[in-house]
Structure 1
């Protein structure tokens, strides 16, 4: 009899907690509006400009996706960093390329790479431009495929230390958000490999800056 009361007490406790939070915070369960910073400084490149961008919906049930484009200069090489905050994602980065007018049939895809603790990133070329693209996850390493993204979710979303935030409604049980990052640079007077090496170096800085600043719910 005593043991049968345990689930009931836990449920009642959860209801009381949530009710208390709603009284204190009537916006509970509503995502806060994320504002991109006007600029992000990098150690190895000079910030040139930044502007808000809006990309057409990637999925039929989404609205337009808000993002920001940062332009940098490194020696004689200019490159752009586009970042979109996806409130819901399936993690399949390759399927998002069309949002930038990139024809996947014409893109020359390099092998998928893994860089230390950052995780996975994808490299490809299209119309004399080199690209590096990845998804920064709210927890865990970066991913580029559907399988990697959901493996990350299964590993990090279901940990016990998230139980209270989930019960309180400050976090979702399954957090499918993503910061979709695409870094690009023209292939001009340098070799393709040299340009990609620069993109990888920039990616490491971008990842290190954004991971601890991932948008809060």
Structure 2
């Protein structure tokens, strides 16, 4: 017992020093070399309940200072009554996925008319682009969809890292918070004054959200 008391200060000092060193390395390493997200390619075909896919093609997605584009693709669907639904998908890694700002940068003249909550999905933005109604949202790996940067951050904090994930962050192998977002932008062919357009968009958006939650890209 006396022998342990003699060595205990040294053992505690070594343990504390090692923990502080690991913490310092975990904080510093992501700044020097930010862990990358696994490559991903959007599938050419994605099923959407009540719609028939008619087209799919690559979508240009330039990078910016605040986000790292990983992949992008455009899909087009037809409804039984002749409506056309265009969906632009952009997979990104960013500290703050802010849909209003992304719309200004990548889809010009697309003012948001309403940010609302949809049951089973989360926050969605509704607006018009060239007199066509749209729904835009960020699908997160876990938790509800988000629109604003504050919503995005809160969701990441609530669904944060497990112990294993925290240890991975300490050693610079992963980000402390999963910063990925599937930015989904759905546009309907019907004019904005169609009173059913928002309901049609939200029904399609809900099916789209459920499919991607079940098929979210792997993080590594």
TM-score, normalization by structure 1: 0.78
Correspondence for 1:67: 72
1:44, distance to aligned residue in structure 2 (A) = 1.4
1:200, distance to aligned residue in structure 2 (A) = 0.5
Correspondence for 1:206: 208
Q: Identify if the C-alpha distance between structure 1 residues 170 and 138 changes in structure 2 by more than 3 Å, giving closer, same or farther.
A: farther
Q: Is the 8 A contact 2:66 2:94 kept in 1?
A: no
Question: Superposition RMSD on alpha carbons, in Å?
Answer: 2.9
Aligned length: 200
Taking the aligned partners of 1:168 and 1:117, their CA distance within structure 2 comes to 36
Q: 1:146 aligns with which of 145, 149, 169?
A: 149
Q: Which runs of 5+ in 1 are unaligned?
A: 19-27
TM-score, normalization by structure 2: 0.77
Taking the aligned partners of 2:96 and 2:17, their CA distance within structure 1 comes to 35
Correspondence for 1:123: 126
3-state DSSP of counterpart to 2:94: coil
**Higher CA-based Rg:** 2
Q: 1:155 aligns with which of 139, 153, 158?
A: 158
Taking the aligned partners of 2:197 and 2:181, their CA distance within structure 1 comes to 26
Q: 2:59 aligns with which of 42, 53, 57?
A: 53
Q: 2:45 matched to 1:39?
A: yes
Q: Identify if the C-alpha distance between structure 1 residues 101 and 147 changes in structure 2 by more than 3 Å, giving closer, same or farther.
A: closer
Alignment of 1:1-217 (within 5 A): 1=9, 3-7=12-16, 29-57=35-63, 59-60=64-65, 66-75=71-80, 76-104=82-110, 107=111, 109-160=112-163, 162-167=165-170, 171-188=174-191, 191-215=193-217, 216-217=219-220
3-state DSSP of counterpart to 1:211: helix
Q: Which runs of 5+ in 2 are unaligned?
A: 1-8, 27-33
Q: Is the 8 A contact 1:120 1:144 kept in 2?
A: yes
